[in-house]
Chain A
Amino acid sequence: MMSGQEIRNYTMNFGPQHPAAHGVLRLVLEMDGETVVKADPHIGLLHRATEKLAESKPFNQSIGYMDRLDYVSMMCNEHGYVRAIEQLLGIQAPIRAQYIRTMFDEITRILNHLMWIGSNALDLGAMAVFLYAFREREELMDCYEAVSGARMHATYYRPGGVYRDLPARMPQYQESRWHKGKDLKRLNRWREGSMLDFLDAFTDDFPTKVDEYENLLTDNRIWKQRTVDIGVVSPEQALAWGMSGPMLRGSGIEWDLRKKQPYAAYADVDFDIPVGVHGDCYDRYLVRVEEMRQSNRIIKQCVKWLREHDGPVMLDNYKVSPPPRESMKTDMEALIHHFKLFTEGYGVPAGETYAAVEAPKGEFGVYLISDGANKPFRLKVRAPSFVHLSSMDAIVAGHMLPDVVAMIGTYDVVFGEVDR
């Protein structure tokens, strides 16, 4: 360098069309050579005003919008919203519905973590994990489809229970140009019985699949070079920045709403909470991998319980849940209830509540204010990704540019819920 020459930092635009920006993150980075001095995330490119839209329609019509917030952990978002309504109404879903919700929350957690492990590894240069992860995602998405008719945006949870009971038959692959012969047989080998049989077979097999991902990553030299000691979040920082979920547990704080403030059937199932030690990207990776194994355990317990216990999955209360179609044919009351429910909805007593669930990314909270009307007065969605991303500048400053990509990956941000 020549003496007296002035060297200035330069500003770099990362995204919104960058493959590692996980959607529509625009990151304005102030760089000193390869080192990040300041990171300023610009968000809102996917802002749809979900909260304002919810104010303009009856409560039930917004359940579908919740799927579209964090669009890789759909049912967990529904769970938060539905729980808020149930708290204000003072109702509780039947016990079988609670178990179904617990099971699908954990299926959702695995779905989310598979998406995360695949895309995070892809960002850091490991292509194969993505393909492996999507193989299992497909099986679980079939469960979503079997139960709700939609692979992603299920709208399956309702205030007072779930939309319908689990299907007695798991749908099978049909013969086609792509699936035939031995291949078709392999695809359908778990699908001879009910959905619970399918999930039983899946949960027996899934730990070996997690071993496969771990084989590819846990001792992988390049993976460790990219994640160990990168993006270290101290426990104090994690608390101050409002972190939750794997971000908080990765820093060694044992905090999980499923244990600390149990909801649905979590108090009755057995599982462990993994915590990290160093609070770096690698620890958060280990935490999430272990969470997949624990979720698998929970699903297995739920399957067992659901096999042994039958019962209603929806409150038999026509003020909030529709009457069965058959009774509408003969019963005037049922017909009136149905009509009122689908034209006007139900009124929710005036008051306010905050309902939180442990979504795969952290604490997903719904703050709901009702003034007694058939529509929410104010709905605030507390999205974990939004909070995590806000700490970007504090964590990433001083790191190298490639570490920013590792950090975005480990935050597990999804812009559906950051921008809402």
Chain B
Amino acid sequence: MSEASVNSLAERLVARFGSMLSSVDTRLDQVTVEVDAGDLLTVATALRDEPDFDFSQLVDLCGVDYLGHGQAEWDTGSVSATGFSRGVQGEAAGRFDWEGRPIGIDLPRRFASVVHLLSVQHNRRLRLRTYCDDNAVPLLPSLTGLWPSANWFEREAFDLFGIVYDGHPDLRRILSDYGFVGRPFRKDFPLIGNVEVRYDPERQRVVYEPVTSVVPRVLVPRVIRDDADLEQARAEAADHWQEN
């Protein structure tokens, strides 16, 4: 979308919904609005039905776990008396197993559900984010009544993040195994998993056991660097783009 149409869409959204939108963002020429769970259905219905918006398609819906957002594992800002850190500490999912998983770390609002809408008529996209108020039981209204394509997406977010969609006709797990325990895409779920399977020749069946064959490890630590070198990279890239 062009910058002008992005800004005009953002302005019209603010004019129409006002305080129902807790934030409006137009970075990278993409419109993102944040809506509280209580207002989600009202806003979504208007976005679908009002000819000015006409978002006839729900393109994507996904859960996000914001636990650990912006946290690095390797401090590169300053060198202490002992030198750089080794980068082996941290809370990333690759660091721990099921027993040692971090418990009790919390954010005010950890889970969000992000919806991408598309208006085929106006050729416009919109991103709609809703945070869940309760971290223990993340609960949101279901959008299946407005767009049937939300059905499987919500099942997926329920399966992988444990977000419960109120009003969903058939909220079952979808991607993980029958009888799976845990919410695998949460940031406090270990990358190596919880159980492993093997065939037991004595019992003559497949058995589930705690993971022992894999050790949690991280090959490249998470690093967040000062943006200065990125700015430089972008300037260099812009120069080259002009030369071509």
**Which residues of chain B have C-beta atoms less than 8 A from A377's C-beta?**
69
Residue of A nearest to B60 (CB): A382
- Sorting the interface of chain B by its residue count into under 10, 10 to 19, 20 to 34 or 35 or more gives 35 or more
B70 touches A372 (CB 8 A): yes
| A240-B149, A317-B233, A320-B233 known; A369+B123 contact, CB < 8 A | no
**Which residues of chain B have C-beta atoms less than 8 A from A371's C-beta?**
69-71, 224
| A387-B149, A394-B148 known; A44+B93 contact, CB < 8 A | no
B123 touches A351 (CB 8 A): no
**Residues of chain A from 347 to 388 with CB closer than 8 A to chain B in the complex:** 347, 349-354, 356, 363, 365, 367, 369, 371-375, 377-378, 380, 382, 386-387
**Which residues of chain B have C-beta atoms less than 8 A from A369's C-beta?**
64
**Residues of chain B from 105 to 119 with CB closer than 8 A to chain A in the complex:** 114, 116
Residue of A nearest to B219 (CB): A57
**Which residues of chain B have C-beta atoms less than 8 A from A241's C-beta?**
148-149
Q: How far is the CA of A382 from the CA of B241 in the complex (A)?
A: 30
> Which residue of B59, B177, B234 contacts A89 across the interface (Cβ within 8 Å)?
B234
**Which residues of chain A have C-beta atoms less than 8 A from B229's C-beta?**
319, 347
For residue A186, CB closer than 8 A to chain B, the reply is no
For residue B92, CB closer than 8 A to chain A, the reply is yes
Min C-beta distance of B58 to chain A, whole Å = 6
Min C-beta distance of B23 to chain A, whole Å = 13
| A55-B93, A56-B92, A319-B229 known; A374+B152 contact, CB < 8 A | no
For residue B102, CB closer than 8 A to chain A, the reply is no
| A239-B120, A316-B240, A372-B227 known; A43+B70 contact, CB < 8 A | no
> Which residue of A244, A315, A352, A356 contacts B32 across the interface (Cβ within 8 Å)?
A352
For residue B46, CB closer than 8 A to chain A, the reply is no
**Residues of chain B from 186 to 228 with CB closer than 8 A to chain A in the complex:** 191, 218-220, 222-225, 227
| A44-B174, A311-B244, A377-B69 known; A240+B222 contact, CB < 8 A | no
For residue B62, CB closer than 8 A to chain A, the reply is yes
**Which residues of chain B have C-beta atoms less than 8 A from A57's C-beta?**
219-220
For residue A4, CB closer than 8 A to chain B, the reply is no
**Which residues of chain B have C-beta atoms less than 8 A from A260's C-beta?**
123
Residue of B nearest to A419 (CB): B175
B218 touches A56 (CB 8 A): yes
Min C-beta distance of A28 to chain B, whole Å = 12
For residue B168, CB closer than 8 A to chain A, the reply is no
A52 touches B64 (CB 8 A): no
B223 touches A94 (CB 8 A): no
For residue A203, CB closer than 8 A to chain B, the reply is no
The number of A-B residue pairs with CB atoms under 8 Å apart is 159
Q: How far is the CA of A57 from the CA of B227 in the complex (A)?
A: 20
Min C-beta distance of A29 to chain B, whole Å = 16
Q: How far is the CA of A59 from the CA of B173 in the complex (A)?
A: 29
For residue A390, CB closer than 8 A to chain B, the reply is yes
Residue of B nearest to A57 (CB): B220
For residue A71, CB closer than 8 A to chain B, the reply is no
B237 touches A92 (CB 8 A): yes
B148 touches A373 (CB 8 A): no
Residue of A nearest to B155 (CB): A390
Residue of A nearest to B156 (CB): A386
Most chain B CB within a 10 A radius of its CB, from A88, A160, A240: A240
**Which residues of chain B have C-beta atoms less than 8 A from A89's C-beta?**
230, 233-234, 237
Min C-beta distance of A161 to chain B, whole Å = 11
**Which residues of chain B have C-beta atoms less than 8 A from A372's C-beta?**
70, 224-225, 227
For residue B236, CB closer than 8 A to chain A, the reply is yes
| A90-B234, A319-B229, A367-B114 known; A344+B185 contact, CB < 8 A | no
> Which residue of B57, B60, B149 contacts A380 across the interface (Cβ within 8 Å)?
B60
> Which residue of A240, A343, A374, A382 contacts B148 across the interface (Cβ within 8 Å)?
A240
For residue B30, CB closer than 8 A to chain A, the reply is yes
0/1 string, A233-246, CB within 8 A of B gives 1: 00000011110100
Q: How far is the CA of A261 from the CA of B119 in the complex (A)?
A: 12
B224 touches A49 (CB 8 A): no
A351 touches B27 (CB 8 A): yes
For residue B37, CB closer than 8 A to chain A, the reply is no
A382 touches B116 (CB 8 A): yes
Q: How far is the CA of A49 from the CA of B176 in the complex (A)?
A: 9
Q: How far is the CA of A344 from the CA of B241 in the complex (A)?
A: 26
| A89-B234, A349-B230 known; A387+B152 contact, CB < 8 A | yes
Q: How far is the CA of A391 from the CA of B65 in the complex (A)?
A: 27
A373 touches B72 (CB 8 A): yes
**Residues of chain B from 147 to 164 with CB closer than 8 A to chain A in the complex:** 147-149, 151-152
B244 touches A312 (CB 8 A): yes
> Which residue of B71, B173, B230 contacts A347 across the interface (Cβ within 8 Å)?
B230
B222 touches A373 (CB 8 A): yes
For residue A274, CB closer than 8 A to chain B, the reply is no
Given contacts A90-B237, A320-B237, 4 further A-B contacts (CB under 8 A): A44-B176, A319-B236, A354-B116, A420-B175
A sample of 8 inter-chain contacts (CB < 8 A) reads: A44-B176, A56-B92, A58-B220, A241-B148, A320-B237, A365-B59, A372-B70, A372-B227
* Chain B residues packing against A (C-beta within 8 Å): 1, 27-28, 30, 32, 56-60, 62, 64-65, 69-72, 92-94, 114, 116, 120, 123, 125, 127, 147-149, 151-152, 173-177, 184-185, 191, 218-220, 222-225, 227, 229-230, 232-234, 236-237, 240-241, 244
4 closest cross-chain pairs (CB), A and B: A242-B149, A319-B233, A390-B152, A44-B175
